[in-house]
Amino acid sequence: MSLPRKDLFDLPEGVIYLDGNSLGPLPKSASDAVQRVVQDQWGQQLIRGWNLCGWMDQPSRVGDRVGALIGAEPGSVVMGDTLSIKVFQALAAALQMRPDRRVILSDTGNFPTDLYMAEGLIALKNAGYQLKTVAPEDVADSIDASVAVVMLTEVDYRTGRKHEMSAITRAAHEAGAVMIWDLAHSAGALEVKLKESGCEFAVGCTYKYLNGGPGAPAFIYVRPDLAPDIQPALAGWLGHDAPFAFEPNYRAGLGIERMRVGTPPVLQMAALEAALDAWDGVDMAELRSASVALSDLFIAEVEKRCPMLRLISPRDGARRGSQVSFAFDNGYAAMQAIIDRGVIGDFRAPDVMRFGFTPLYIDETDVLAAADIIEEVMRGDLWDRPEYHQKSRVT
């Protein structure tokens, strides 16, 4: 089956959805699956669902499917919790691996929660750790012998700027540091080659390009040779080697299983598992080139029509994720006006108008239609109406 696969999604009439980088749309299969798990499984099987409906194994089973989309080895990815929690787990484990080093290195383009979770962990450990952030382009040169961990998000959530995963991982390893990649804007968007990169840890969310639904569980990858030695900081019972033996002491489970913590969110897992069906048979290299083509076209069309918008994403598709961002002083209001006309993108403070390209359900026709509407709003100064300046919390 080739791209796009619009018929697999419930897309509202009259909407061009360029925000799949924030929350993917509803796959029809997910809608059916959730109804089934609620009514037939929870409703009819009750507690027996844990055995009879495969709820208990779902985090690993789904983990393997996500793993296949990011170039991970089978048995190296498990689902659960939120991305923030997975960042914490990876970071805590990484610091254990370099007990004599005290610096966590990240960049100023990292998503704030990754940095916040590092701050929280540092305060908790209270042992002289330091979070150092440098400009994205300075990361490789800043990895010295003080750095325990390099923690980066591959694709910048604001600009779409893409790090070179393999090169930076190599630089980290040459300096003796552990590498953690946050794939929030990569999984389902890029051809990720996790195993090839050699990185120790990766984490990500599934409600963006993987279309798992609002609040879908996160994932964590641990390089298979390392998993057996990790003592999980979040030592929950479902990461125990024998959760139902109810032993008084923690014994870490086999391999990646030890990164599980508490009871998995069965309804969210069901939505995600079904949502992944939309990826069956997708060639990630083909998807990536479709995404670059769509975003190249979008940049060309918008720049031609709207000179007041300043591209802040890399112009070179190879250095860009699957989103395109423009800066505009009245970006918040402009985005509201554009959304009001059926093109959904989003806004990120202070002035970023962000558009995501998701070849599963967006094609050239959509891009051209979106450019028409953006042109209408921008050239007509339609954003200047008072109703577009009322701020709400999320756009």
Footprint on residues 291-310 left by its own copies (CB under 8 A): none
Torsion sign across C-alpha atoms 290, 296, 301, 307: positive
Footprint on residues 103-142 left by its own copies (CB under 8 A): 108, 111-113, 115-117, 119-121, 123-127, 133
Task: Write down the least CB distance from residue 271 to its own copies, Å.
Answer: 6
The residue (of 250 and 296) whose beta carbon lies closer to its own copies is 250
**Which part of the chain contacts its own copies (CB under 8 A), choosing from 32-40, 189-197, 284-292, 313-321?**
32-40
Active site residue 207: yes
| CA end-to-end span of the chain | 33
Footprint on residues 56-85 left by its own copies (CB under 8 A): 56, 81-85
Residue 380 sits in the site that holds its own copies (CB under 8 A): no
- What type of residue is 25? P
- Residue 8 to residue 361: CA distance in whole angstroms: 8
Long-range contacts of 240-244 (CB under 8 A, 24+ apart): none
Number of residues this chain uses to bind its own copies (CB under 8 A): 93
The residue (of 29 and 330) whose beta carbon lies closer to its own copies is 29
Residue 92 sits in the site that holds its own copies (CB under 8 A): yes
Active site residue 86: no
Backbone φ and ψ of 160, nearest 5°: 80, 0
The SS3 of residue 196 is: helix
Residue 49 sits in the site that holds its own copies (CB under 8 A): yes
Catalytic residue among 158, 162, 208, 288: 208
Residue 97 sits in the site that holds its own copies (CB under 8 A): no
With CB under 8 A as the contact rule, the residue among 75, 98, 195, 237 that binds its own copies is: 237
Residue 15 sits in the site that holds its own copies (CB under 8 A): yes
Catalytic residue among 114, 182, 346, 366: 182
Q: What's the burial of 229, exposed, middle or buried (CB within 10 Å: 0-12/13-18/19+)?
A: exposed
Task: Write down the least CB distance from residue 85 to its own copies, Å.
Answer: 6
Confirm if 25 and 10 have CB atoms less than 8 A apart: yes
216: CB partners within 8 A, 6+ apart:
205, 206, 207, 210, 268, 271, 272, 275
Catalytic positions are 111, 182, 207-208, 354
